[in-house]
């Protein structure tokens, strides 16, 4: 520890990093200073130390598929290349039989433990569609966890049903929903949302639905999509809102910062953003996330999907402890053409072993399934 302290002593963020090593989390003003600093390697040194103190040289992953059940969407987010408006010739919605077939194939071929269910905001789908899907998965594939639906999808279902989001969450939990992904957060400031997703739920609505999930005993992930129109103040505000809700509820199992991929999106067409934020920014966001949430949100995910496996390996040394999930059948990021988004368990296990770490295969509650 003294060697690390010597290295950080002369840095302009030394007080923040030294406090972190002593177990004191940074505050809002510190978030800004960290975000303004270019001393990414030092942040990573401290964040990596905190992570290894907690988890040792071990990284987890979940063997899953992403089930994009529909691409029909009416929110027209400028950062999305996946959605199609209703009645578009390329629009689709999976039937219950098609969902069963995809999950069965994934179980047979890949022995998955989780299905991440996300799609568009489709005004033609009532709650029974989701209830039938979740019940079927939990009944026929009991070893597979249902991790599904963004807060904004929950909000859309509530509007279709003319019901409250809490009632929708309660019914979906009864049908088999076990945990919520963090999608829909993007950046939790409405001045950013007005630019990139003006028709989607507000920041306060995202936080409210997450709090409702907590009161119903549904754990969740929190996310942040960075690298577009946000400022450091916006990111700091995002962190602050997640911290405040987590202190109140403890609803979040994991935090996942991920980089916006502009290819084929409206934001690229309009010239708002032309390229992704890149690898150094990923490592910076991972490291700051660990410093901000250390002792508060246990798991930080490496976000390989928009940055690649090599960056995910580095992220595991900069504060991440979880690699994320395998990916078979994902269609949202692949629509940007950014890279092949197929990743099997073997590739993840091999890539974690390459950095000398042990591998923990987990379920969607971060419980150990087995070690590799």
Looking up residue 169, the CATH number of its domain turns out to be 3.20.20.70
Residue 79 among known ligand-binding residues: yes
Domain assignment of residue 5, yes or no: no
Query: Which long-range contacts (C-beta less than 8 Å, at least 24 apart) are formed by 49-55?
Result: 49/1, 49/4, 49/21, 50/20, 50/21, 50/290, 50/291, 50/294, 50/319, 51/290, 51/300, 51/319, 51/320, 51/321, 54/298, 54/321, 55/321
Q: How many independent structural domains does the chain possess? A: 1
- For residue 29, tell me if it sits in a domain: yes
Instruction: Determine the structural domain holding residue 262 and report its residue range.
Output: 24-371
In a domain, 290, yes or no: yes
CA distance 169 to 175: 10
Q: Is position 107 within any domain?
A: yes
Residues with Cβ < 8 Å from 59, sequence gap 6 or more?
302, 316, 320, 321, 322, 323, 352, 357, 358, 359, 360
Q: Is 186 annotated as a binding residue?
A: yes
Question: H helices then E strands: how many in the chain?
Answer: 15, 10
Q: Is residue 4 part of a domain?
A: no
360 is in an annotated binding site: no
Task: Tell me the β-bridge partners of 62.
Answer: 325, 362
- Collapse the DSSP code of 302 into the 3-class scheme (helix H, G, I; strand E, B; otherwise coil) and give the result: coil
Q: Is 370 annotated as a binding residue?
A: no
Q: Could you give the C-alpha distances from 28 to 138, 236, 238, 271, in angstroms and in order?
A: 42, 6, 10, 32
Interacting residues of 3 by C-beta distance below 8 A, sequence separation 6+ = none
Rounded distance between C-alpha atoms, residue 318 and residue 302, angstroms:
9
303 among annotated binding-site residues = yes
Residue by residue, pLDDT tens for the chain (372 residues) are 567 777 778 789 999 999 999 999 999 999 999 999 999 999 999 999 999 999 999 999 999 998 999 988 877 665 566 668 788 888 899 999 999 999 999 999 889 999 999 988 899 999 999 999 999 999 999 999 999 999 999 999 999 999 999 999 999 999 999 999 998 899 999 999 998 888 889 999 999 999 999 999 999 999 999 999 999 999 999 999 999 999 999 999 999 998 887 666 676 777 777 766 688 999 999 999 999 999 999 999 997 777 788 999 999 999 999 999 987 654 444 443 444 456 889 989 999 999 999 999 999 999 999 999
- For residue 7, being part of any structural domain is answered with no
Residue 61 lies in a domain: yes
1 within some domain: no
Is 194 annotated as ligand-binding?
Answer: no
């Amino acid at each position: 520890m003294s060697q690390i302290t010597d290295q950080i002593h002369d840095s302009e963020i030394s007080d923040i990093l030294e406090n972190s090593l002593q177990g004191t989390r940074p505050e809002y003003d510190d978030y800004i200073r960290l975000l303004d600093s270019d001393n990414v390697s030092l942040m990573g040194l401290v964040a990596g130390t905190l992570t290894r103190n907690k988890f040792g040289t071990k990284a987890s992953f979940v063997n899953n598929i992403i089930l994009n059940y529909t691409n029909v969407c009416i929110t027209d987010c400028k950062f999305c290349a996946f959605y199609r408006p209703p009645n578009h010739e390329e629009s689709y919605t999976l039937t219950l039989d098609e969902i069963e077939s995809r999950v069965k194939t994934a179980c047979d071929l890949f022995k998955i433990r989780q299905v991440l269910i996300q799609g568009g905001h489709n005004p033609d789908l009532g709650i029974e569609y989701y209830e039938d899907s979740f019940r079927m998965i939990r009944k026929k594939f009991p070893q597979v966890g249902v991790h599904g639906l963004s807060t904004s999808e929950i909000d859309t279902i509530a509007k279709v049903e003319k019901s409250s989001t809490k009632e929708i969450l309660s019914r979906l939990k009864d049908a088999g929903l076990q945990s919520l992904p963090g999608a829909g957060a993007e950046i939790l400031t409405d001045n950013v949302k007005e630019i990139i997703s003006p028709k989607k739920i507000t920041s306060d609505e995202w936080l409210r639905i997450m709090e409702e999930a907590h009161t119903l005993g549904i754990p969740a992930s929190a996310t942040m999509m960075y690298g577009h129109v946000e400022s450091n103040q916006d990111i700091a505000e995002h962190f602050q809102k997640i911290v405040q809700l987590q202190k109140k509820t403890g609803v979040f199992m994991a935090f996942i910062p991920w980089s916006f991929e502009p290819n084929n999106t409206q934001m690229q067409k309009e010239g708002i953003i032309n390229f992704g934020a890149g690898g150094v920014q990923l490592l910076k966001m991972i490291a700051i996330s660990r410093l901000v949430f250390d002792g508060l949100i246990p798991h930080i995910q490496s976000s390989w999907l928009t940055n690649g496996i090599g960056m995910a390996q580095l992220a595991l040394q900069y504060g991440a402890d979880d690699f994320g999930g395998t990916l078979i059948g994902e269609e949202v990021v692949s629509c940007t053409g950014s890279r092949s988004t197929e990743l099997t368990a073997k590739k993840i296990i091999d890539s974690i072993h390459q950095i000398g770490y042990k591998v923990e295969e987990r379920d969607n509650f971060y419980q150990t399934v087995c070690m590799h």
